[in-house]
């Protein structure tokens, strides 16, 4: 084996560091999916009748749909009857303060490095943690409440703000949008809801951590963010899961709604369990994320660092409906061992003078496959639409693959669309070149990978950027030096 392959292999062979299971009693639905399960979930959550009807309608539609096959991913077919669709950590009463939360659960978060206390004290980030399917605690609720900001679990919002949920849920991602979105709409268990009233600039980063804990559980959370006219919010989402041999299913839906002059920044650091080195286990991550820039001069910006999951199928999208609205997508997707990622974005230009920017950085190591799939669509009325796309792939070793599928559809001649794509390899000669300037192997790889991803990492809020950098190092680093 040549030297650089050896180095790369060592770097890429480190273990998943978040793979522990919390021993918390959980309260689960029986395996399988039918209308009764949908009713069970709705009942558990004490939901109003209209929501149950909404779920059932989605479920019935789902039955008529087929799993999508166009993505560049391969996996054994999923037995949807072998999944537990609802698992809540068993707790008799809802906690009123952080101190009342099960200590084991709090331990879990501390192991994750996101101690709620710490977060609260040090960074002033408001955190909503979703463990398996239930939202556990939301910090900083009061302070946000003073500004009229609503930040709570989705279930709570259903009870306390039904008018908002009714108005916006499914307005961006309809219940029948695609196979996984329909599944989610039928069985979603919890998630986060966030509402920023007119003219309010949310003073802190809002954050949710998702963690799949119980075995054989699917996690189907929904996130809904509504930014009213002239408001601003930055939202962070982090994900981890314990190591298990079986594949676990995750099918979330995220909807963003930006009114006139509003801006939403949505950042994700996804670190679900990717499966072991032989490709066993890991999360199947089929997520529908979409935002609509409904008003003029609104802006939605997606930033994602995807290092986990056995399979990632995810295309955070922007519908640029308002004139002068802006959509952005910044992505780093790292795949290692047998991971597969098919990710990208869709930018749909409807309004005049709309702009979008896509920066996608794929890093493939081991025997993984990494695909960028993106659509830029300019509708007939979208005068002066502009798009810039840049898709780069970095290959480590020679057994992995990188693929780019840019789709461009333009129905307006004033559109300016630019696309750039590059593929490069970290090779022996790059490492030797660094060595010759006094830089050792470990620093050389860190330098190259972080440099390569810099443009995306710099979009993340400070604390998150540091975490993401560490995550990249963990994903690709090993015991050299």
Q: Does 419 bind other proteins (CB under 8 A)?
A: yes
For 99-138, the DSSP string reads GGS-HHHHHHHHHTT--HHHIIIII--EEEEEETTEEEEE
Smallest gap, in angstroms, from Cβ of residue 76 to other proteins?
Answer: 28
Kindly tell me which of 121 and 437 has the beta carbon lying closer to other proteins.
437
Q: Does 347 bind other proteins (CB under 8 A)?
A: no
Q: Which of 34, 43, 81, 414 binds other proteins (CB under 8 A)?
A: 414
| 453 within 8 A of 363, measured Cβ to Cβ | yes
Kindly tell me which of 439 and 474 has the beta carbon lying closer to other proteins.
439
Q: Does 451 bind other proteins (CB under 8 A)?
A: yes
Alpha carbon distances (Å) from 416 to 214, 323, 335, 426? 49, 16, 32, 33
Q: Which of 72, 107, 216, 423 binds other proteins (CB under 8 A)?
A: 423
Kindly tell me which of 264 and 396 has the beta carbon lying closer to other proteins.
396
Q: Does 411 bind other proteins (CB under 8 A)?
A: no
Kindly tell me which of 150 and 448 has the beta carbon lying closer to other proteins.
448
Neighbours of 23 (CB within 10 A): 10
How many Å apart are CA 252 and CA 38, to the nearest integer? 16
The residue among 231, 219, 210, 38 whose CA lies nearest residue 136 is 210
Smallest gap, in angstroms, from Cβ of residue 450 to other proteins?
Answer: 8
Smallest gap, in angstroms, from Cβ of residue 73 to other proteins?
Answer: 21
Kindly tell me which of 117 and 414 has the beta carbon lying closer to other proteins.
414
DSSP-assigned beta bridge partners for residue 289: 254
Smallest gap, in angstroms, from Cβ of residue 340 to other proteins?
Answer: 19
Cα torsion 450, 334, 14, 216 to 10°: value is: 150
- Give the x-and-dash track for 356-395 against other proteins (CB under 8 A): ----------------------------x-------x-x-
How many Å apart are CA 258 and CA 253, to the nearest integer? 17
How many Å apart are CA 351 and CA 376, to the nearest integer? 14
| 423 within 8 A of 395, measured Cβ to Cβ | yes
- Give the x-and-dash track for 430-449 against other proteins (CB under 8 A): x-xxxxxxxxx--x---xx-
Torsions phi, psi for 217 (to 5 deg): -95, 140
Q: Which of 130, 326, 350, 453 binds other proteins (CB under 8 A)?
A: 453
Q: Does 424 bind other proteins (CB under 8 A)?
A: yes
Smallest gap, in angstroms, from Cβ of residue 335 to other proteins?
Answer: 18
Report strand pairing: 282-293 vs 317-320: parallel
| Positions in the binding site for other proteins (CB under 8 A) | 3, 384, 392, 394, 413-414, 416-425, 429-430, 432-440, 443, 447-448, 450-454
């Amino acid at each position: 084996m040549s030297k650089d392959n050896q180095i790369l292999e060592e770097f890429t062979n480190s273990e998943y560091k978040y793979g522990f299971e919390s021993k918390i009693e959980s309260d689960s639905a029986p395996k399988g999916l039918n209308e009764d399960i949908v009713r069970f979930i709705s009942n558990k959550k004490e939901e109003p009748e209209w929501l149950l009807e909404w779920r059932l309608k989605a479920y019935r539609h789902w039955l008529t749909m087929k799993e999508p096959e166009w993505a560049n991913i391969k996996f054994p077919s999923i037995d949807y009857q072998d999944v537990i669709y609802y698992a809540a950590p068993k707790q008799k009463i809802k906690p009123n303060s952080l101190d009342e939360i099960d200590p084991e659960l709090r331990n879990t978060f501390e192991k994750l490095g996101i101690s709620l206390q710490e977060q609260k004290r040090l960074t002033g980030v408001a955190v909503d943690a979703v463990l398996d399917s239930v939202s556990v605690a939301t910090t900083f609720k009061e302070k946000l409440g003073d500004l009229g900001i609503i930040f709570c679990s989705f279930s709570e919002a259903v009870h306390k703000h039904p008018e908002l949920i009714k108005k916006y849920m499914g307005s961006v991602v309809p219940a029948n949008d695609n196979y996984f979105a329909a599944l989610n709409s039928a069985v979603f268990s919890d998630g986060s809801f966030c509402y920023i009233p007119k003219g309010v600039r949310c003073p802190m980063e809002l954050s949710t951590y998702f963690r799949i804990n119980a075995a054989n559980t699917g996690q189907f959370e929904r996130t809904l963010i509504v930014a009213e006219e002239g408001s601003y919010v930055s939202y962070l989402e982090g994900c981890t899961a314990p190591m298990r041999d079986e594949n676990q299913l995750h099918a979330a839906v995220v909807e963003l709604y930006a009114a006139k002059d509003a801006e939403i920044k949505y950042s994700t650091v996804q670190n679900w369990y990717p499966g072991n080195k032989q490709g066993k286990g890991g999360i199947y991550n089929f997520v529908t994320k979409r935002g609509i820039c409904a008003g003029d001069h609104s802006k939605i910006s997606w930033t994602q660092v995807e290092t986990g999951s056995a399979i990632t199928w995810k295309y955070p999208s922007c519908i640029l409906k308002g004139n002068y609205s802006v959509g952005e997508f910044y992505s780093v997707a790292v795949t290692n061992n047998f991971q597969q990622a098919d990710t990208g974005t869709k930018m749909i230009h409807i309004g005049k003078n709309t702009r979008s920017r896509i920066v996608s950085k794929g890093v493939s190591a081991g025997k993984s496959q990494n695909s960028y799939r993106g659509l830029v669509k300019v509708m007939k009325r979208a005068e002066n639409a502009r798009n810039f796309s840049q898709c780069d792939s970095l290959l480590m070793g020679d057994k992995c693959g990188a693929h780019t599928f840019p789709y461009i559809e333009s129905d307006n001649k004033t559109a300016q669309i630019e696309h750039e794509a590059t593929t490069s390899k970290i090779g022996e000669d790059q490492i030797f070149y660094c060595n010759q300037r006094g830089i050792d192997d470990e620093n050389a790889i860190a330098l190259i990978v972080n440099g390569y991803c810099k443009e995306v990492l710099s979009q993340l809020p400070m604390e998150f950027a540091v975490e993401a950098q560490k995550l990249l190092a963990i994903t690709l680093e090993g015991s050299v030096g």
